[in-house]
Amino acid sequence: MESEGDSNNLSGVQHIILVLSGKGGVGKSTISTEIALALRHAGKKVGILDVDLCGPSIPRMLNVHNMNVHQCDSGWVPVFVDQEKSISLMSIGFLLERPDDAVVWRGPKKNALIKQFISDVAWGELDFLIVDTPPGTSDEHISTVEALRPFRPMGAVLVTTPQAVSIGDVRRELTFCKKLGLPVIGIVENMSGFVCPHCTECTNIFSKGGGEELAKYAGVPFLGCVPLDPSLTQTLELGKDFLQEFPKSSTYTSIVSIAQQILDKASDSSS
């Protein structure tokens, strides 16, 4: 049953998007961060909920890893990334005593914190809430989807890399979404080629097109490819906004195109 706190804290959120993948190391946190920044550049107010409890990397990617969350009458106040308060973030990274502390918890404790994150964070008014998840299809994912179900999530963005192993794992993630009744917004192929920092030519180090083929096979939209770009990696390491720093790059075009398709989908679902 939906609690009063649940209703109050998520009632101002228009669209909820989960970022999923069947395996680790495919760049879910990178895609979550860049989608959030692209939506912010499109004039939207965005929240990011980082439920990757064992690998909370988004606070560093947004250069707020030294910040703390505070309590208010409605629960936790998320950390605001910018002065305009257009991006807010909640992560277990803000709750650890030391940044190098490992989260050595059994499933029930993780699931309880995930439910608390969903019910007890005072998001306020948001156009989008991006939920960055851990890899896999474990009980943590089930807890996240079930806790969000009363608020009718817009759907999931699935992240893969071009290799067959990754695509096979994401195929299982598609089955997970189907079993839980979670709509799939589309598939993103990350690390799709390498952008040379000198000549900007893109070389397919792994392979290319697997994500698009998977989307066709599954009958879901293919949102686009994001290449391995040293400029993107560097801005994430430094906690800078890649889209602001490199607006002429092909990677910028890819990320903005993905965000625009999400905006179009949100507009269609609202009309």
Confidence check: pLDDT of 96 > 90 = no
pLDDT of residue 199: 64
The annotated binding site is made up of 22-29, 196, 199
Rounded to two decimals, what is the model's pTM? 0.90
Mean pLDDT of 143-167: 88
Q: What average pLDDT does the structure give for the chain?
A: 87
Q: Among 43-47, 195-199, 215-219, which stretch is predicted with the lowest mean pLDDT? A: 195-199
Confidence check: pLDDT of 13 > 80 = yes
Mean pLDDT of 1-30: 78
Using N-to-C axis directions, what is the helix angle for 210-218 and 164-180, rounded to 10°? 30
pLDDT tier at 206, thresholds 50, 70, 90: low
Confidence check: pLDDT of 97 > 70 = yes
Of the candidate CATH numbers 3.40.50.11540, 3.20.20.80, 3.40.50.300, 2.30.42.10, the domain formed by 14-264 belongs to: 3.40.50.300
Q: Per-residue b/e over 98-127, b at no fewer than 16 CB within 10 Å?
A: eeeeebeeeeeebbebbeebbbbbbbeebb
The annotated binding site for ATP is made up of 22-29
Confidence check: pLDDT of 1 > 60 = no
The annotated binding site for [4Fe-4S] cluster is made up of 196, 199
Q: Among 99-103, 216-220, 246-250, 264-268, which stretch is predicted with the lowest mean pLDDT? A: 99-103
DSSP letter assigned to residue 78:
P
Cα distance between the two ends of the chain:
28
pLDDT of residue 195: 66
